Amino acid sequence: MKRLVVLCVSSVVLAGCAVFADPPQPGESGEAVIARMGKPTAQYQDGETTLLEYAHSYWGQETWMVRLDRSGRVLSYEQVLTSPGFAELVIGKSTQRDVLLKFGQPGWISRIYKNNYLVWEYHYKQDEVWPAVMYIMFDKNGVVQHMENGLDLMYYSAD
């Protein structure tokens, strides 16, 4: 588990910001997507679907996920850090793997020792407008036990 955490954080920190002016189109080959957009920040396998993650830096507010079918063709391309997306998680049921496949790597990982929660932090635009942070808290079995969002104070001044 520690290795997963280190890999996730390292990958996000090393990932650069990218602008995708020419987004992937349904039916396009995965090879063409990678040739144009560059190496994904992470890649996952979800059954017969391959997910290519394009995270926008450490505290970026966007993570784009390209879904490929079993033949390597684009099924969809979407910005996954959204309020409706977070609302799909189920307390007591969704797992770390579910969250990773849905949103990609967290921007930061911490721990709440009082509850023995592992906390994954995602910076995003709440309702596509307000800079916010979603904290997803997992128990020792990797199951979501609590979620909390708040203002992303990096974008607000004390004035």
Tell me: the pLDDT tens digits for 94-144?
999 999 999 999 999 999 999 999 999 999 999 988 899 999 999 999 999
| Fold classification of 2-79 (topology level) | Beta-lactamase Inhibitory Protein; Chain:B, domain 1 (3.30.1450)
The answer to whether the 2-79 and 83-155 domains have the same CATH topology is yes
The values of phi and psi at residue 61, to 5°, are -100, 5
Kindly state the helix (H) or strand (E) to which residue 148 belongs, with its residue range: strand 144-151
What count of other Cβ atoms lies within 10 Å of the Cβ of residue 86?
Answer: 20
Provide the pLDDT for residue 156. Answer: 80
Instruction: Domain 83-155: give its CATH code.
Output: 3.30.1450.10
Q: Residue 26: is its pLDDT beyond 70?
A: yes
Domain positions in the chain: 2-79, 83-155
